[in-house]
Amino acid sequence: MNQAEYKILFVCMGNICRSPTAEAVFLQRLTERHLQHRVKIDSAGTHNFHPDLPPDERSQAHARRRGYDLSGLRARPVVDTDFEEFDLLLTMDWDNRTLLEERCPAHHLHKIRGLAEFLLTTPSSVIPDPYHGGSQGFEQVLDLIEEASEGLVRFVEHKALA
C-alpha cells in the first residue's frame, strides 16, 4: 500500500468519546468513496487520562447502533510528532483547540482547525462533550460528527486530494 496522501488527526480531551467516534465515522465515509488508502486518520486526546483504553462503552453502544465499530480503537495522547506528521488536526471544542495551539510549533498552527467548521447546515462551533451527560448527548455527538464528516470528505475530495 502506498503512503497516504493526506493525514487527519481528530482530537478531544481524553480520546474516549468524540475523537474515536469521529475517527470511525470518517473512516466509513472514506471507505464509501474508496478513499481509505489515500487518507490516513487517527485520534488522540489533549490529556492522557485513559492510555490504551478502548472508547467509552456509551460511545461504543451508540455508534454500534448506527453501524460504526469503535471497539478496536485505543486512547492515546497527542504527541509532539503529531504536529509534523498530520496535515490537519481537528479539535472538538475550544478548550482542545487552545491546548493544541499552546503546544504547537508556530509553523504548524495553520493545521489546527475545529471539526465543527465542516458542518454543512447545523450552526455549532463545537462538538460538545457527552461524557457527563445522558444518552441524548451521545446521539447529538453522532449527529454532528456524521454531518461534519460529510463536509470533511467533500473538503478532502475537492481540496486536499485535488
Domains and CATH numbers, the chain: 6-160 (3.40.50.2300)
- Catalytic residue positions, numbered: 12, 18, 129
**Does residue 161 carry a pLDDT above 90?**
no
Average pLDDT over residues 91-106: 98
Cα 41 from Cα 45, distance rounded (Å): 14
Average pLDDT over residues 29-33: 96
Residue in the block written with cell 462503552: 57
Residue that wins the pLDDT comparison between 159 and 86 = 86
Cα 7 from Cα 27, distance rounded (Å): 12
Q: Is 41 exposed, middle or buried (0-12, 13-18, 19+ CB in 10 A)?
A: buried
Instruction: Report the pLDDT value the prediction gives residue 1, as an integer from 0 to 100.
Output: 39
Average pLDDT over residues 33-47: 96
Average pLDDT over residues 28-36: 95
Average pLDDT, the chain: 95
Cα 162 from Cα 157, distance rounded (Å): 6
Lowest-pLDDT choice from 123-127, 135-139, 142-146, 155-159: 155-159
**Does residue 8 carry a pLDDT above 80?**
yes
Instruction: Report the pLDDT value the prediction gives residue 2, as an integer from 0 to 100.
Output: 53
